[in-house]
Structure 1
Amino acid sequence: MTKEFKKYIKEVQAKKDQVIEWSAYLENGLYTLDKDLRTVFNTTKTAHPMVNNLKNTKKEDQLSLEIEDSRLKYFNGSILWFCINGDIKIFSDDEVLVICTNKESYQMKIANYTYFSPFFRIPSLINQDAKHNMLMEEFVHFEDKTDNDEAFILKKIYDDYRSYFNYLTLHSKVDYQTLNRLLNTSSNGKHIHQFEKIIEKVSPELLSLNLPFINLHGDLWSDNILLTDEAGEKTLWYIDWETAGKYVFFYDFFKFIWNELDVHHNYSYYKRYIAGDFDEGLTSLFAIFHLTFEPKYRQSYFCLFFLNFILKDTDNMAFK
């Protein structure tokens, strides 16, 4: 047995132990882990939209959950998802149980829902349990997105953000700062040398330009967008607001492009941006804040986003 395989077996066992810990919230049956060890699902639920693209892995990745007394079951979930921040999400056919890792995570989820739900369609909060740091959310019965849905998705995102931006400017809920200031505040100033290659690609006048920093999703991309279609009427839902915080106003648009490139290896959005396909929409959004989008700065705008992105990771800040 190789060292790598031993490590894998150890990781699998750790995940199984966690699943057993939460077995009172899962229906009985045979469960398996996906290849990334992020999702555990009942093997009878392979048609569920959460797992229909996942693959069963190896036999050693399976475990059986059997609790004879149904009164000991607090939730009838069939899928358990390990969130990156340590939270647990358990999915039933109609609800999502969110088990937060601590009080801060619990309170942040409620705060994000309260703040963003008037502007973006977010699954409803059904129940809150502050004592146990648990939330119950509506499960959105989404469907797989296709290339034919792209135009609708991009337009809906643009329309939702335009309405949100207009509200913020109308109610004077916008903070302005420069990237130079951001680079030199807090502990970021100690790390400027790490960003020199990116800074060199930004036109100097943009580094000193006052830009709006507003509350945003922080991790927008296709995996955090759900699409429903009822009787031919399509609806877009936004999920996973864990990284919401204050960012430069165009952050979410470029994070979408970056995530698709980095995770899905889909370069099409970046190529379209560089080619100018999104200039008209960005020009309109910039104008809301009395700014001018200049096509000659396309690369600079993207690098400004990336500076905001890595500064957040480097300084472990939420820009709040």
Structure 2
Amino acid sequence: MLIGEVARRSGVSARMLRHYDALGLVRPTGRTVGGYREYCPDDIRRIFHVEGLRSLGLSLREIGRALDDPEFAPATLVSSLIRKTEERLRQQQELLERLSAVDAAEPSGWQDVLRIVELLHKLGSDNAARRQQAALSSAEEVPMPAEMLAEAVLTESDLNVAGALRWALARAGGDAVARVASGMRSPDVEVRRRAVLALAELPGDEVTAVLTDALDDADTGVRRQAALAVGARGVTGAVPALVGIVVEGPNDVEAAELLGTLARDAEWADRIISALASEIDSPTAASAARMRLTQALAELPGTLALDTLRRLTRDDDRAVALLASALVAGLDH
């Protein structure tokens, strides 16, 4: 079969077939009387083998070695190709995200595009100060898209930078809630902790619903931040978690203040007092925890907790009794 017919049937151009011949990769078995290349079935089969390996990303040199070396083991080469392909995909994904960020910002001209690109470079810097600068400057003339800020919030480990990113995200507008909320489903507890902190600074019923679901998170830190956030939004379902925060600390003062606010609802006032008293009376309660719980009673509005505090003035724990006596004296006046 002559080269033109081989090219037509194989889909490989005649020019490439000549290149394969020059490299010794696929040499035609014969020549016609006129000196034209003539390919036999084995030659054509080798052409298809070459093209198949090319489709995997192998270089022509690697293909020649794979086809001609009987000792060649493909495992190492294939593993290397996988790594290289994964890196190319990562780079392409980064490019796609960068282009999407530029498009979402709706730049009015190339100066805006360049500014967005500069912000994105800073945000991806290894230097925390540069990342923080990018977050703080993202609220200026050409704001960074909320979706990009949300992505950065979920991956940022530096506390100062994370705070700046949350600040920028809360002011960015846009629909970043879904992206941040997706972090609550991450198996990585650090991502969930970052997500709950960011959500706590965003408004809306959708956010409140996600934070309320987080009250059942497996991680204590996530549950604590979710309880403080939804308690501040008036969600009474946070009461058990807030009482738990008072027992365990930290953030017990903040939790006690929120319980005081929620107790303004008459339906919940008695429940909150009962929950606090139950923890105080628990035989396993540590003295420090009982002190925090007693102080929390004083945060309840009016004289709601007065009877419970009077009872505690006779408590066997002298520190608790003295604190209760002082609180009762204050309420009586």
TM-score bucket (shorter structure):
under 0.3
> Whose radius of gyration is greater, 1 or 2?
2
**Larger RCO (CA under 8 A, 6+ residues apart):** 1
Give 1 or 2: higher strand fraction: 1
Query: Taking structure 2 as the reference length, what is the TM-score of the superposition?
Result: 0.26
Give 1 or 2: higher helix fraction: 2
Query: Taking structure 1 as the reference length, what is the TM-score of the superposition?
Result: 0.26
